[in-house]
A and B are shown apart, each in its own frame.
Chain A
Amino acid sequence: MAIRPILQYPHQGLKSNSAAVLPADPAVDDVVQDLLDTLAASPGVALAAPQIGHAVQIIVVDVSRKKGETGHGLVVLLNPVILALEGRKIVREGCLSAPDYTGNVLRHEEAIVEGLAQDGRIITINARGFEALAFQHEVDHLNGMLFLDRIQSLSTDLFRRKTRG
């Protein structure tokens, strides 16, 4: 297939809910291949279908593209959902679809993600650390959420509007 341009906000495709897919649908394979080709040509470690213009629930994550990370290697997930999150943490996050800006967002250290493989098998992944962040970020894309919707504090975290008890 092909390397697709990664859409940038304000493209409204990034703010829409994506539709669930059927693994048997041949169009799914085309989108997956486009995602893989585009990911391979990008500086990132993960992509969601809406970022290349498809409003369907497909993500690809491969944190091993980042030096020092292994995770589960390349994961292609259809209709992924996050079943559980553990360990709140603030992370400075950015996105290829909203470049040149980063913000402090609340994420979780561990995530259990479930979805379908391309052959229809159910896959459950216990992700930790960087990989857990990647899954949380990509699943957000399927729900029309950007990290900008999750910014937790403007600058450093220590001083945010604490009221004296």
Chain B
Amino acid sequence: MARMPSVKTSAKIASAADPYKKLGAAKLFKVHELMVRARLLEERFIKMSKGGDGFFWIGGPGEEAFNACLGLQVKKGRGVDHDFLHLHYRSAAVVLAMGARPVDALRQMRSVAADPHSKGRNFVNHYAIPELNVVPMSPTIETQYATSIGTGIAQARAKTDAITIVNGGDAGTAEGDFHSCLVWANRPALPLPILIIVVNNGWGISTETASQHGERNISDWAKAFPGMPGRTVDGNDVAESWAALEEAFAYVRQNRKPYLLEARCSRLYGHSSSSGANRIPEPDCIALLEAELLERGLAKAADFRKAWEREAAALDAAHKTAKTEPFPEGETVWEDVFADGLPPSYPTRGGS
């Protein structure tokens, strides 16, 4: 499913239309840095999970190319005049690209009180960042497609170019919520500015997508709706991902209508810690990017080594911070049950 390392002709690379050269070294280095940050963070989570410094791990190693390109193109901020994001648990690189801090993700992994996303209540990679319009994430694999309808309506009513972005996995598209999103986003009464993304890693936990889905491409669902663009791209390729996202963002922003984008990516450590979280021999988008840059003379191996070392050192420091922080007290479960506080007579004993 995922792309194997490509062999490009020198003529193609030399051409002015070469998508990597078009993106430019500065942007590519930025994307690379974010991909490395996300990869190291995910690998640290896995170590923490295996070493008892946290519990369950689920994340997105293998999706960094597409997700970093996505996060960098978001119109970020708070409120309907900025993009809303309905993400799923493989989206670390998206929020890191938007400026989220690894230390906060580490706090959630350790489930400490200072975890800003959930106060130690939710799994790792389940973000909630109102300052960035990242709405609360759920481990369900599909509900984000349903909730994206609501922010989409709010933005369709507002005078804004901001849009709603929803992403999920291929397996989740079997659920009704994905199809709800398609139907609602294409209502003639009020089309919605939603960029509907499916990251297709070829697996639903332990089940091959190809054994359950007869669609040629998941993006083919767009064909049911007149005028709706649908496209499948290689999500392991930075240049292709960037260009596809750029096109999709622009379409939704300008036309205030939905776009369905499917990105085929690797899943490098399996489904989660429940399946062992061991490295899988699938194409690695970071290695692919580094090869592309080396091939074009846009970077040297030493540049990459420095980036890896710099990010690893920053991660170590962040982990050191999170490691010293206390866990939440049990009684804190009564915080936030209701927005206006817990009524004094609410039952809190857990029985007799």
Partners in one complex: no
